[in-house]
Amino acid sequence: MDKHLFFEQLHLLIQDEPNIIANLANISAFLNQNFDDINWVGFYLVEKDNPKKELVLGPFQGKVACIRIPFGQGVCGNAALRKETIRVVDVHQFVGHIACDAESLSEIVIPIIVDDEVIGVLDIDSPSYNRFTLNDQMILEDVVKIIEKKCLL
């Protein structure tokens, strides 16, 4: 993957669209097309005005998914609670993993943070163990930075 071309295409994809849901839908499709060996990619979002600290299913590519995930539960909920990326080599070794798809074996989750508040997470699963590298993590964290900046506009 040519990193420069990847980010150029991503910027072109969302630059003129102000609707965050439309952008997240296209970003999930874009990531699905550009990352090999993944079986689910998408977003969980925090609903405004919901007193529960939970993530709700947003735009995604893949099989049907869990709809609501409380902060602190599973990989997504823990990444949201900790406000940090979690990269899991083997989901079966992650205590409290929520198995939405039994074929998923590794996972990476990056929180989306605006004004020091988690507004969602980017979640990607793979049917292979240890699929996500540190380089993947850095690229995906840069994707999330673009989303965070877009949310501030």
Are the beta carbons of 112 and 46 closer than 8 angstroms? Answer: no
3-state secondary structure of 126: strand
Predicted confidence (pLDDT) per residue in 100-153, tens digit? 777 899 999 999 999 999 999 999 999 999 999 999 999 999 999 999 998 876
Contacts of 37 (CB under 8 A, 6+ apart): 126, 127, 128, 131
Task: Decide if pLDDT at 67 tops 90.
Answer: yes
> For residue 19, what pLDDT band results from cuts at 50, 70 and 90?
very high
Question: Is residue 70 classed exposed, middle or buried when 0-12, 13-18 and 19+ CB atoms within 10 A define those classes?
Answer: middle
Half-sphere exposure of 122 (CA within 13 A, CB side): 28
Query: Given strand 40-45, what is the order of strands in its sheet?
Result: 68-70, 54-62, 40-45, 117-126, 106-114, 86-88
Tokens of 129: 């163990």
d(CA 100, CA 147): 25
Average pLDDT, whole number, for the chain? 94
State how far the alpha carbon of 100 is from the alpha carbons of 18, 55, 72, 79, 104, in Å. Answer: 31, 14, 16, 17, 8
What per-residue confidence (pLDDT) applies to 51? 76
d(CA 41, CA 37): 11
Predicted confidence (pLDDT) per residue in 72-83, tens digit? 999 999 999 999
Q: What percent of the chain clears pLDDT 90, i.e. is strictly above it?
A: 84
What per-residue confidence (pLDDT) applies to 16? 93
3-state secondary structure of 121: strand
> For residue 33, what pLDDT band results from cuts at 50, 70 and 90?
very high
What per-residue confidence (pLDDT) applies to 153? 62
Are the beta carbons of 21 and 58 closer than 8 angstroms? Answer: yes
Q: What's this model's pTM, rounded to 2 decimal places? A: 0.95
Q: What percent of the chain clears pLDDT 70, i.e. is strictly above it?
A: 99
What per-residue confidence (pLDDT) applies to 22? 96
Task: Summarize the confidence of residues 36-63 as an average pLDDT.
Answer: 93
